[in-house]
Amino acid sequence: MRFLVFVLLIPFYVQSQKVISTEVLVIGGGTGGIAAGIQAARSGAKTIVAEPTTILGGMLTAAGVSCTDGNDALPSGIWQQFRQALYQHYATRKLNTGWVSNTNFEPSVADSIFKAWAAATSNLVVKYQWQLLRVTKKDRKVTGAIFEDVYKKQFTVAAKVVIDATELGDALKSAGALYDVGMDDPLLTAESEALQKNDIIQDLTWAAILKDYGPGADKTIEKPAGYDETLYYCCCTDAPCNATSWNGDKLKMLNYGKLPRSKNATQDKYMLNWPPHGNDIYINVVEASTAERNKAYEKAKQHTLGFIYFLQTKLGMKHLGLADDELNNGMALIPYNREGRRIKGMVQLTTNHLKNPYAYNLYKTGIAVGDYPVDHHHARYPDKVPEIIFPPVPAFNIPMGCVIPAQIQGLLVCDKNISVSNIVNGSTRLQPVVLLTGQAVGVIAALCVQQNIAPVKLPVRKLQQALLNEQVFLFPFSDVSIDELYWIAVQKAAVTGILQGYGKPQGWANKMLFFPDSLITMQTLAKGLHQFEPRFPLSKYDSNNFLTIAQAWQMIAEMHHLYLQRLKIPHKYPSAVVNEYVPLLNKAGLTQSNGNNAITRKEVAVLLNGLAQNPFNKPVSIKGDF
């Protein structure tokens, strides 16, 4: 009888262990994951995205954080494509309905955009409600993962490249990769701002979407268990606050996350993701089990419901209720985790790199950009956290080595789990940066599949060229329009280091400026050419006079001659202009007949890419060294 039962169960067992093969597996369809999945598929790789919820977009959607931070002046890649889709949906480019952001939207709209993209993308399959059980490995190489669906069926996915796009870095832990959690040891990061090693992470938020149901409506919810109104007394004032009763500008607090209306909508909606004395809460479940996480998350949900109850009762906003057409009846499906595990990658991005990028070479390997300042959410519980003095930083880029684990093969990371310090995570965790990082990782995965190489073997410049083809910024110049003829030339010149930018910390929208129409001195160009080709004679061009076109031609041609001579590559001197750049040089007026005219920085970039047969083609290592 037992044998008969076993035989009858064999078909079910086989079905539950179904093996699916693909080229790229993305674990998590969140902000970075869906960008990685779509881009990997667009780049020609057969791709599966396994998402544990029914919604794509992660913190942009399922977590209810539908007001983005940063990158408003950096229209790069899939981030700009996302904004363009929002502009089309709302029939306007003005999405600054809430004062926290210039790009606000309803979570359901963003989810529909990602799903439409996914449906229209060949080679892409999305599996919803698939929970990761564990990663599969052979020796030190990740080979896939095992998932369980809502019916408790298990599926094994075999893949050539696996991408961890989970909210807390669960896949990289399962893979046995080395990682960090919490604040860093200053002796290891060499950051003057880092104070001590501990496991403290940023507060998380269980966001919600509220709807204005109109005058006379009473949407007051049931008083949450353990409700304590004093927790919200300071919600309408700026932190820190020592008030003993509620007060302040409640409309300013509410309009922080006011969302635009879709066509034919008659009711306003509001994102409820309010920092100190709102619905931020300190919960650290990074290393907890699923059951432990769910129990802790219930506390976060009750804290948000308490905030809503406070708004409805103490602040007289009973006409505001949970939006019945967003997320889980207005409540987020997942928490907004600002921080989780951070991989130990081939390189680690620290505050030192952000503050002074040109003192290091990592900027030469940039694959994504951001302009948000260092911003951590700890203010509600200052007694728990050492006071960190966050440094002012310019706009920055993410180095390629941050997404490649140092010791595990076959694995990439692309969300808040990239290789950065705890402090830098406060800038790199923002939605536009994560979207762009995900897109870059999707390109890496596809190229590695097509060339049958490990990510660490992928040439930096080959990846960067593929990203430029997708109109992705390698360097965060906000004053060089992507529509300009010389945009690619400037981007390439920037990551060679020959033409450097000027960093400008500036509040909530930091800058890196190129000044494309400014003139350039002979000495400035000479220094850039010398660092590219050390034999280039600095003393010969030691002048602070502004350059002419003819002088720039001479200097670049000489540098190129010395470079090829050192490599023992046969050539003619002065070097001939590469044919593909002749029309561009002519259009820019960069001909010998105009040699006495002054030359601008953007024109020098064009000359570099034409005359010198493109210094961008000089290989760099994963650490940015030539």
Percent of the chain with pLDDT over 90: 81
Give domain status of residue 75, yes or no: yes
User: Once rounded to an integer, what is the mean pLDDT over residues 583-605?
Assistant: 80
Tens of pLDDT, residues 188-241: 999 999 989 999 999 999 999 999 999 999 999 999 999 999 899 889 876 556
| Helix-, strand-, coil-residue percentages of the chain, each rounded to 5 | 35, 15, 45
Q: For residues 30 and 414, what is the distance between their CA atoms, to the nearest angstrom?
A: 10
Q: For residues 133 and 147, what is the distance between their CA atoms, to the nearest angstrom?
A: 5
310 and 370 housed in the same domain: no
Domain end (from 260, 291, 322): 322
273 and 369 housed in the same domain: no
Q: State which residues form the domain around 560.
A: 487-617
492 and 465 housed in the same domain: no
Q: How far does CA 191 lie from the centroid of its chain?
A: 22
161 and 212 housed in the same domain: no
Q: For residues 203 and 132, what is the distance between their CA atoms, to the nearest angstrom?
A: 24
Tokens of 358: 């040109």
- Residue 2, pLDDT above cutoff 60: no
Tokens of 531: 């660092």
Q: Which amino acid is present at 442?
A: G
pLDDT score of 15: 45
Domain end (from 322, 349, 370): 322
| End-to-end Cα spacing for the chain | 71
Give domain status of residue 228, yes or no: yes
User: DSSP strand E in 464-537: where?
Assistant: 502-504, 511-513
- Residue 184, pLDDT above cutoff 60: yes
Tens of pLDDT, residues 532-553: 999 999 999 999 999 999 899 8
32 and 172 housed in the same domain: yes
193 and 208 housed in the same domain: no
pLDDT score of 382: 62
Domain end (from 278, 293, 322): 322
> Going by DSSP bridges, is the β-strand pair 208-212/269-272 parallel, antiparallel, or unpaired?
antiparallel
- Residue 277, pLDDT above cutoff 60: yes
513 and 395 housed in the same domain: no
CATH number of the domain that residue 370 is part of = 3.50.50.60
User: Once rounded to an integer, what is the mean pLDDT over residues 352-380?
Assistant: 94
317 and 344 housed in the same domain: no
User: DSSP strand E in 511-580: where?
Assistant: 511-513
Please, what is the average pLDDT of the chain?
A: 92
pLDDT score of 14: 42
Find, among 524, 476, 525, 570, the residue nearest to 76 by Cα: 476
- Residue 175, pLDDT above cutoff 80: yes
Query: Do the Cβ atoms of 502 and 466 come closer than 8 Å?
Result: no
Give domain status of residue 474, yes or no: no
Burial per residue of 208-228, b for 16 or more beta-carbon CB atoms within 10 angstroms, e otherwise: bbbbbbeeeeebbeeebeebe
- Residue 580, pLDDT above cutoff 60: no
Dihedral over alpha carbons 484, 489, 494, 495 (to 10 degrees)? 130
Q: For residues 307 and 217, what is the distance between their CA atoms, to the nearest angstrom?
A: 19
Contacts of 396 (CB under 8 A, 6+ apart): 353, 354, 357, 369, 370, 371, 427, 476, 510, 512
Find, among 496, 565, 498, the residue nearest to 526 by Cα: 498
Read out DSSP for 290-303?
HHHHHHHHHHHHHH
pLDDT score of 243: 60
Number of independent structural domains in the chain: 3
Q: For residues 190 and 178, what is the distance between their CA atoms, to the nearest angstrom?
A: 19
- Measured in degrees and rounded to the nearest 5, phi and psi for residue 132 equal -70, 130
Tens of pLDDT, residues 127-152: 999 999 999 999 999 999 999 999 99
pLDDT score of 540: 95
Tens of pLDDT, residues 90-108: 999 999 999 999 999 999 9
pLDDT band at 612, cuts 50/70/90?
low
103 and 230 housed in the same domain: no
What totals of helices (H) and strands (E) does the chain contain, helices first?
17, 21
Helix 77-90 / helix 107-120 crossing angle, nearest 10 deg:
120
pLDDT band at 526, cuts 50/70/90?
very high
- Measured in degrees and rounded to the nearest 5, phi and psi for residue 363 equal -60, -25
Cβ neighbours of 480 (radius 10 Å):
25
Give domain status of residue 567, yes or no: yes
* DSSP-derived secondary structure letter, 458: S
pLDDT band at 579, cuts 50/70/90?
low
Q: Provide the 3-class DSSP secondary structure of residue 370.
A: strand
Q: Which amino acid is present at 300?
A: A
Give domain status of residue 2, yes or no: no
User: Once rounded to an integer, what is the mean pLDDT over residues 481-501?
Assistant: 94
Tokens of 520: 């350039």
Tens of pLDDT, residues 301-327: 999 999 999 999 999 999 999 999 999
- Residue 519, pLDDT above cutoff 80: yes
pLDDT score of 569: 80
pLDDT score of 266: 94
Tell me the residue length of the chain. 626
Find, among 529, 552, 541, 540, the residue nearest to 602 by Cα: 552
Q: Which amino acid is present at 150?
A: V
Q: Considering all CA atoms of the chain, what is the largest pairwise distance in Å, rounded to the nearest integer?
A: 98
Give domain status of residue 223, yes or no: yes
Tokens of 545: 């006079």
Q: Where are the alpha helices (DSSP H) in 359-496?
A: 425-428, 431-451, 460-469, 487-496
Read out DSSP for 76-94?
-HHHHHHHHHHHHHHT-S-
Tens of pLDDT, residues 388-436: 889 999 999 999 999 999 999 999 999 999 999 999 999 999 999 999 9
553 and 572 housed in the same domain: yes
pLDDT score of 38: 98
User: Once rounded to an integer, what is the mean pLDDT over residues 353-377?
Assistant: 97
Query: Do the Cβ atoms of 433 and 75 come closer than 8 Å?
Result: no
145 and 43 housed in the same domain: yes
- Residue 25, pLDDT above cutoff 80: yes
197, 198, 200, 284, 412 from 386: Cα distances, Å? 11, 10, 10, 16, 32
Query: Do the Cβ atoms of 130 and 145 come closer than 8 Å?
Result: no
Tens of pLDDT, residues 109-127: 999 999 999 999 999 999 9
Tens of pLDDT, residues 428-437: 999 999 999 9
534 and 580 housed in the same domain: yes
Long-range contacts of 407-410 (CB under 8 A, 24+ apart): 407/140, 407/177, 407/178, 407/344, 408/140, 408/141, 408/142, 408/172, 408/175, 408/176, 408/177, 409/140, 409/141, 409/142, 409/454, 410/141, 410/142, 410/143, 410/160, 410/161, 410/162, 410/454
Give domain status of residue 556, yes or no: yes
Find, among 398, 431, 413, the residue nearest to 58 by Cα: 431
Cβ neighbours of 502 (radius 10 Å):
13
Q: For residues 256 and 405, what is the distance between their CA atoms, to the nearest angstrom?
A: 38
Give domain status of residue 183, yes or no: no
pLDDT band at 7, cuts 50/70/90?
very low
